Amino acid sequence: MTNFPILVKLACLLQGATVAYAQSTATAPPTLTESTAVPSATVSGSATLPSQVALPPKQPWCPSEIFCAGSLLQTVNLAHLFPDDKTFADKPTSKPPQGVLANFQNISSPNITYGQVIDFVEQNFAGEGHELETVALQDFNANPAFLNNVTNPLVKAWSQTVHTIWTQLIRGTNESTLCSSRSQCESSLIPLNHTFVVPGGRFREQYYWDSFWIVEGLLESELYSIVNSTLQNFMDQLDTIGFIPNGGRIYYLDRSQPPLFIQMLSRYVTVTGDRSILSRALPLAEKELQWWRTNRSLNVSSPFTNQSHLVYHYSVNNSAPRPESYLTDYLTANDPSVNPPLNDTQKAALYAELASGAESGWDYTRRWFTDGDNDGSLRNLAVSRLVAVDLNSILYRNHIIMANLYGSSNSNQVNSHHRAAEALRTAVLDLLWDANKLAFYDFSLDTNKRRDFFSAVNFYPLWSGIIPDEIVRDEKAAFSHFASLNLVLNRFNGTYPTTFVDTGLQWDAPNCWAPHQYIGADINALSGTLVNGGNATDGEGWSHLLQRELANRYITSAFCSWHATGGSIEGILPRLSDAELNVTQSINNNGNMFEKFSSIDVDSAGRGGEYTVQAGFGWTNGLVLWIASNYGDQLNAPQCPSLLAQGRSGHGGTSSARPKAIPAFWAIAAVVAGAALL
């Protein structure tokens, strides 16, 4: 790996320093400036909108005539008044919905202009996020115990800084602005009864799988009441909706996300010892498992053993563009430059696959494309046609956890969950494990074979406790399973990418996401002897070495991108010069915690996707704090590349530019990762 110059020049001086931390018992909520994006058109206001294709069918799960698929939503989105489709979907009406619909009918015509749509939005809608308010953190401890685990003074000071960011991300429902009655106004928000944490940026509401890593951080921060509130919100949704939706908006009511509620519940009980929550939680956890079994399971006959397995896939019942990404989906299905055009049946199927990709959390990646030749378009999605490694591994672990949570209180339930877990373990090892390539792959329902596409999903089964015999018996095979991780850590200065294919999609290379770094760092099943991968400490096995290195890389990525965008710590870490911050266009910033990072540029945010890179950021902060707690005595002062040198070379810290040799490497790495990894 290239040795970059140390940007943080104080690191050596700090090795022997001590850092004082202030104590605090409560925080006042930061001022929440209501975002009110101003609608604007890229053409003259007098120009007419382009002609529209026929409206998609009404979606029974989304009955709103304003925020769900219909004439109003389609017309506003075709005007493209905001850079992000979600902006409009998150704007509550400023008057009763019947009046809004009447006003829309008054301007509806084949010759409707951009100016008319702009005026309509300005006169009938309030600011996005208008229904939410910041909430003060009670009993906030500025010096939680986990900081004592961090030995490097710089990392310790920065971890405490990240810890304080929770005060900016706590939200509650604002009763004074909530559309409590349709006679007042209408909103896409699903009101929550308890305090919650938002990821940040465009993600203004509580999200499902993000919350797992947020909860991990909150537990380290000793914010137990916020974790309890998060779980209570999910239980309320299970109680009233029947499942946990993707996020807290009505346009998410057709889909869930990777089912991690049970694992959040278990972590809360383990850390706090609060088993009183289980009397309510366990029946609702059973309800969630039943929802997945009823709505997302299918039987597959194995071509390898002829056994029949009940397995799970992401599969959303949807036949319209997603409201929060309406224009993006609409253009994907109706792009006039793409031939042949899709018929209505094909469009409906595509909209279902787009929603299924969103349900997976990986929206989007080449992992979900069909086998064989394709043009790399999202039209090639076939998410529902794959038995997903991650989903089945998570559900296996859920059953194991449920059995443990019941303990001796209900032997019938314990036995039932053990049987379900064993059945899933057998299915995963039969359908998804390739003993020759020593890796896990999704199983294609169309080709009746494993999908030959390697990704970070390879590590989910081991994290969940499904360990193939080949890995248990053979040290060389065990290392081969992790060879792609070793390859990346030796080749680049960043952390582990989601896939080895650079498509421009946000869940492909070179992007790195918090869930996969956590899973890699949390696997504790293996031990062995050192095989490459860095500088081992005495007696350190290769598996722990890789995990330690992965933890350090994530801390470095999060720290360097934060520092490169204006982050500083008073008395510890000075702010970069304006000349340096100008490279990242961050002169007016105070440091961003990004949602994703780059494996090839340690001070860069990730790139690609349907929206700009978001800052905040819930699961990034949560993972930083978890790593600080669990690897604190093994974390080194981050070494960041020189921004001025990058600026001169044309590779700024937040730029999407990358070295020309990279695509060739990804191609080679993809072949290696998809082969035996030996």
Active site residues: 363, 595
Report the candidate in 350, 141, 105, 155 with the shortest Cα–Cα distance to residue 225. Answer: 141
Beta strand 449-450 pairing with 443-444: antiparallel
Element (H, E) at 439: strand 439-440
Residue 400 contacts residue 417 (beta carbons within 8 Å): yes
Beta strand 433-434 pairing with 511-513: unpaired
Cα dist. 317→19, 371, 393 in Å? 54, 22, 23
Residue type, 625: L
- Provide the token pair at 171: 């939200």
Beta strand 511-513 pairing with 439-440: unpaired
Report the candidate in 462, 291, 448, 312 with the shortest Cα–Cα distance to residue 387. Answer: 312
DSSP per-residue letters across 493-512? SS---SBS---S-TTSTTEE
CA-derived radius of gyration, the chain: 25
Q: How far apart are CA 493 and CA 38, in angstroms?
A: 40
Q: How far apart are CA 598 and CA 658, in angstroms?
A: 10
Element (H, E) at 627: helix 618-630
Sign of CA dihedral 317, 318, 322, 323: negative
Measured in whole angstroms, how far is the alpha carbon of residue 38 from the centre of its chain? 28
Edge-to-edge strand list for the sheet holding 170-173: 132-134, 170-173, 196-197
Burial class (CB in 10 A: 0-12, 13-18, 19+), 560: buried
Q: How many other C-beta atoms lie within 10 A of the C-beta of residue 83?
A: 11
Residue type, 570: E
Residue 517 contacts residue 626 (beta carbons within 8 Å): no
Q: How far apart are CA 433 and CA 547, in angstroms?
A: 22
Contact partners, residue 316, CB within 8 Å, separation at least 6: 254, 255, 352, 355, 356, 358, 359, 384
Q: Indicate the Cα dihedral angle 351, 356, 361, 365, nearest 10°.
A: -70
Contact partners, residue 678, CB within 8 Å, separation at least 6: 438, 476, 480, 483
Cα dist. 103→120, 123, 414, 427 in Å? 7, 10, 58, 55
User: At residue 455, what are phi and psi to the nearest 5 degrees?
Assistant: -155, 180
